[in-house]
Amino acid sequence: MPVTASSETATKSDVRPFAIDVAWAVWAQPQTFAEKVRAPFRSLR
């Protein structure tokens, strides 16, 4: 994650790229993401 020069506020322009990266990771690797989400619940059983 790149660090912005001015860190006084977290604007939407800073959040949007992160959200796109997350959405892309979910779309590109749905099985992997699903396994990461299910793992904690699976260990609770």
pLDDT digits (tens, 9 = 90+) for 1-45: 555 555 555 566 778 888 888 888 888 887 787 788 888 887 876
Q: What is the reported pLDDT for 22?
A: 84
Q: What is the reported pLDDT for 8?
A: 52
Q: What is the reported pLDDT for 4?
A: 56
CA distance 44 to 15: 32
Interior/surface letters 16-33, b for 16+ CB within 10 angstroms, e for the rest: eeeeeeeeeeeeeeeeee
